[in-house]
Structure formats: structure tokens, C-alpha cells
Structure 1
Amino acid sequence: MGRLSGPLHDVAQDAGYEQPPPRMGFFTDTSVCIGCKACEVACKEWNEVPEDGYLLTGMSYDNTQALSASTWRHVAFVEKADGPALTDLGMPGVGLPGAATAGTVHEDQETASGDSAVRWLMSSDVCKHCTHAACLDVCPTGSLFRTEFGTVVVQPDICNGCGYCIPACPYGVIGKREDDGRAFKCTLCYDRLKEGQKPACAQACPTESIQFGELDVLRERADARLAELHAQGVEVAQLYGRDPEDGVGGDGAFFLLLDEPEVYGLPPDPVVTTRDLGSMWRHVGAAAAVLVGVGIASFAGKRG
């Protein structure tokens, strides 16, 4: 592997592939997500991911709660009772108890619900397939590897269950199955990619909220969509994980958000946790050299 941080033009070449195909990834446009969870179901069916229970938190309609070893796609339902929606995006809006009845999902929420509106922010989260993936750096067995498409995949058959990758991920994506002991996460349907097919979640998404393709093309498409929303007055709309200059060198799966990242449970400024690994080892080496020097000097002084 090469650099541990900063922009990286071709992650597959950096991983040793001589003539890799274009880097592939996801652009998730949360402004058109309807929370149907078709992506969750398609992911589980295709990848044979076990069910992870149906216990509701009592705080949301969301039953899967977060990404885990048994939830590789997670549709978040974020309910905000903080005033009117920003524009008519075709998203559902409801009035608070005692407020006027909200309009249909196709009406302007500000007009329909007034100051008592509840905004539903929905977003289908997934592994980010980082440019600089700390999970790769810390895996002792090579279970985690970079594919020719630039994605990051776990090979369960050689995972020893050490769990080093779990705290290394700045997004909290990777988890271990309690009855198995091994780590699992989204593979971006590597088996389908090798056959020229879309990942199952993108294939199943009815609104094209989840868009799959060449990462450079997706970035251009996301920039155009962001400009469109800003022109409509949705100033809070922002791209998350699109910037190659960010703390992970940009993500292979990035998002258009309608609020701050923290609202969606995403870290506001993620940094690859192994970024300073090189300098740390240099400092350790320097300290060890000093100790050796002190020891030699002490030994030589006693002999004298």
C-alpha cells in the first residue's frame, strides 16, 4: 500500500492492480429516498445476510437501528420537529398533535404544516468504501482487501475474528456476528460487479435514490443535483464524502444530505484512523534508538 492519507487518484493501482477498471461506487441522494427499505431487503436476499430482529426502539419507525454485521444497508428515519420543511421535495410531512392537518406528500410542507411541521429525513446508509480504509491497514490476516473496482471487501473464510477493523473504521460500519465471531460488512456486491451487474440495493431502489456507477461520473452528477437544490432555495443541502480532500480521501459511497451529518448519525469530519501510523512508527523508532544509545553509553561508562 502507498499513502495513508490525502487525495489518491487510483486506489486500485495503489493496491497493486496494473490496469484496473474505473473505480465504482454509490451516490445516495437522500432527497428522493422514501424509506421503503427495498434496498435493505434486496441486500439481505442477495447476500444471504441473516435477519437481525424486529425490535423497535420506540423512538422511530426504524427497526434495524444501525449498520452492523447483519445489516449492510440501513435506512434511517430521522424525525425533526423543528419547523417547516425547506422546500417541496415530495417528502412526507405531518403536523404535531393539535396542529392543522398536513397536506399530501406532494404538497409544499411549509404551506401545509406551517411552523408545526415534522420533517422526515430518510437516508440509506452503507459502508463508505473509503479511499484510505483503516480497516485494510489494521487487518492482520488479509481478510480485508481492495478489489479491482476500488471497493473494500471482507473475506469471511480467512477472518480470524480479531476485531481490529471495528474500532479502526471512522464510520462504525463493521461489526461481528455474536454467533459467528467473524466480521462482516457491505461488499458492494462484488460478485455482481464481476458479472457487469448493479449491486442488489441499487437495482431494487424504486426512486433511484441509490445510484451506482463510475465514481467520477457520480461525482459530476452529485454536483449538478446539489446546484439544482441550491437553486430551489435548499441551502442546507450538502454533499458528504464526495471531497477527495477530506480526512479519508473521499468515499466510494457518498451522500447528498438535507441537514448536517450529525442529524443522520454520521461523523461531521471523519479522519482515517491510521493516518498518523507512519509518523508514529518513526517516533517509536527514534525513541528506541535513543534508549539503545543510552544503554550502550551506560555499559561503556561502567567498563571504563
Structure 2
Amino acid sequence: MAQFIGGIGRGPGDPAGEAGWGDEHPPRMGFFTDTSVCIGCKACEVACKEWNAVPQDGLALTGMSYDNSEGLGANRWRHVAFIEQERPVATGAIGADGGVGADSGSGSGSGSGDSMRWLMSSDVCKHCTHAACLDVCPTGALFRTEFGTVVVQQDICNGCGYCVPACPYGVIDQRPEDGRVFKCTMCYDRLGVGAEPACAKACPTESIRFGPLDELRAAAETRVRDLHADGVPEARLYGHDPEDGVGGDGAFFLLLDEPEVYGLPPDPVVTTRDLPSMWRHAGAAALTLVAGVALAFGSRGGRR
């Protein structure tokens, strides 16, 4: 994996250590969202808003099934997506409780009979290992915490908006009132006192799991193997691989279909990955220009 600018997020395993927290910082913490047991209750959305005092953003008929919050934004740090699919469903489907049963309308399988399948997933900031938002922030408003998460300090944000297009997931958003950006902090204030984030605590099915990232990755791999053994071959992990284009996510998912179905990019890449080579080329070009100018003036002086 390439090294990235700014001294932040380098190395696949310890972004907090690379950010200057030293060797004694806590283990990297994260989210594992198992969409196979999400029931779409939106308790995580409500808990996030209540704990973090995120302003209400209105309710509207979005035309997207029963989803009235549409997507992540400055005033929506958790978003539960509702995806309806008409497809054959038979024995081996996943029930709303995550178990395997016959003709479950919320699962997947193969066989005869048409049915509606509901895919539900609680989306959130991914807290990337290689976070482009950190690379482009000119004020230091974005910083890496001792838990390996990425947090915005709103009192330092100047509203430049550079981080908005830098995010490969389209997570960061500006509030129109003053242009400052807001996103999930993984409840940094709760982590500091040993409490879990509000969304994970409120989730009634444990679809959102919180804990040390290495432990979550191991549990997720076990869960996928179990689902495959139960006849759900389409179960897959997204964002868990430290060798992917962002060095692995601090918030990753178990999906039951392609990432695009959930509105996730299939192959996210940190958008600042080419900046070091760009700066090197720019520096070489500048030196060449200076050398050329010096040579031209030297030749002119010799002729005189």
C-alpha cells in the first residue's frame, strides 16, 4: 500500500500510531454492520441525532420506498437504506432475525415463487485508514483520534469544503448556514469514557456491532462462513480488506448483494493517492524551469 501525504493514516494497521498517538494508545475501534439482521427500525438514526444534538432535517416522501431520510448528510450521520427487490425466494432465505427459514420475504435464496426481498442497511462514515479528507483539510479541523477514528472539529472548520469531494464515499457534507462540515464522530465523547456509540447501543438486533476492529473482522468472517453454509452464497464483506483502495474501513459491512445496490462504490480509492507523485513531478518541473532560466541568462551574459 502506498504511503500518503500529511503523515496521517499511513500503514494498514495502526493509523492512530502513525498520526502521532504513540505506542500506548487504545486499540483501533470500529463498526461492523451486519445488514442480514437489520430490520430497518431506524433506532440508530434517532439515537445518533439525540446524543449528538444533530438538527432535524425534515421528513419527506423521497420516492425511495419507506426511506424518508434519503442519505447521509451534515444533519444525518446515520442513514438506514431500504432496498426492495422482487425475486424468487425459497427455503434457505434469511429471516429478519438473521435465522434461516422458508419463504422469508426479507431474505434471499433460489427456487420457485416470486416474492419481495427487503435489503436494509445502516450507512455511516467509514473512518478510512487512508482518509483523503485528512489530507486536504487546510486548517486541521479534521484529525485522527487515539481510537483510529476521524473527527471534525467544527470550531476550527473554515467551511472551505475541500474534504467534500475528497471523500470517496460522499459522506462529508456542509451545512448551508455557514458551510462547515459535519459527519459521524463514532461518538468520540462516549469512547473517551468507555461507552459504546449511541447507534450501536440502540440497535435492537445487534446489526451494528462496535468494538476493536481486529475482533470485528474475525467475527465478520465467521458470520459470512456461517451464512454460506446455510445456503446464502451472496453474503459478502465490504470495506474490511486492509489491502483495498482506502486501506480498509473502520466501519465495514456484511452485504447480501453487490455494493452498488446499497449505493456504495464497488472499488473505492483514496482520492489523494496520487498527490505525492504529483508534488514530485511539480517539483522536478519547477527545478527544470529554474535551471532553464538560469542557463538562458548565463548564455546571454556570456555573449555580452
TM-score for the superposition, normalised by structure 1:
0.91
Counterpart check, 1:81 vs 2:86? yes
Is the contact made by 2:89 and 2:107 (CA closer than 8 Å) also made in structure 1? no
149 and 108 in structure 1: CA distance in 2 versus 1, 3 angstrom threshold: closer
Corresponding position of 2:18 = 14
From 261, 268, 271, the counterpart of 1:270: 268
Aligned alpha-carbon RMSD (Å): 2.1
106 and 167 in structure 1: CA distance in 2 versus 1, 3 angstrom threshold: closer
**Counterpart code for 1:13:** G
Question: Secondary structure, in 3 states, of the residue corresponding to 1:121?
Answer: strand
Matches within 5 A, 1:208-247: 208-247=206-245
Matches within 5 A, 1:1-304: 3-4=3-4, 7-18=11-22, 19-84=24-89, 87-91=92-96, 114-303=112-301, 304=303
**Counterpart code for 1:219:** R
243 and 103 in structure 1: CA distance in 2 versus 1, 3 angstrom threshold: closer
Is the contact made by 1:139 and 1:165 (CA closer than 8 Å) also made in structure 2? yes
Alpha-carbon distance in structure 2 between the residues aligned to 1:169 and 1:108: 32
127 and 234 in structure 1: CA distance in 2 versus 1, 3 angstrom threshold: same
TM-score for the superposition, normalised by structure 2:
0.91
Gaps of 5+ in 2: none
85 and 222 in structure 1: CA distance in 2 versus 1, 3 angstrom threshold: farther
CA drift at 1:58: 1.8
Is the contact made by 2:124 and 2:171 (CA closer than 8 Å) also made in structure 1? yes
Deviations 1:104-162 (A, max 9, x none): 76898767xx4422211100000000001000010011100000000000000110000
Corresponding position of 1:98 = none
Corresponding position of 1:95 = none
Is the contact made by 1:90 and 1:105 (CA closer than 8 Å) also made in structure 2? yes
Runs of 4+ in 1 over 4 A off after TM superposition: 102-111
Deviations 1:210-254 (A, max 9, x none): 000000000000000010011112111110000000000000000
Question: Secondary structure, in 3 states, of the residue corresponding to 2:69?
Answer: coil
Is the contact made by 1:6 and 1:245 (CA closer than 8 Å) also made in structure 2? no
Is the contact made by 1:91 and 1:120 (CA closer than 8 Å) also made in structure 2? no
Question: Secondary structure, in 3 states, of the residue corresponding to 1:16?
Answer: helix
Question: Secondary structure, in 3 states, of the residue corresponding to 1:234?
Answer: coil
CA drift at 1:181: 1.7
CA drift at 1:6: 7.4
Alpha-carbon distance in structure 1 between the residues aligned to 2:57 and 2:252: 25
Is the contact made by 1:85 and 1:119 (CA closer than 8 Å) also made in structure 2? no
Alpha-carbon distance in structure 2 between the residues aligned to 1:224 and 1:37: 26
**Counterpart code for 2:40:** G
Is the contact made by 1:109 and 1:117 (CA closer than 8 Å) also made in structure 2? no
**Counterpart code for 1:8:** P
Alpha-carbon distance in structure 1 between the residues aligned to 2:266 and 2:89: 24
Question: Secondary structure, in 3 states, of the residue corresponding to 1:203?
Answer: helix
CA drift at 1:8: 1.8
17 and 300 in structure 1: CA distance in 2 versus 1, 3 angstrom threshold: same
Question: Secondary structure, in 3 states, of the residue corresponding to 2:233?
Answer: coil
Identical positions, percent: 67
**Counterpart code for 2:214:** D
**Counterpart code for 1:176:** Q
Is the contact made by 2:107 and 2:118 (CA closer than 8 Å) also made in structure 1? no
108 and 137 in structure 1: CA distance in 2 versus 1, 3 angstrom threshold: closer
Alpha-carbon distance in structure 2 between the residues aligned to 1:104 and 1:266: 25
282 and 291 in structure 1: CA distance in 2 versus 1, 3 angstrom threshold: same
Alpha-carbon distance in structure 2 between the residues aligned to 1:73 and 1:88: 27
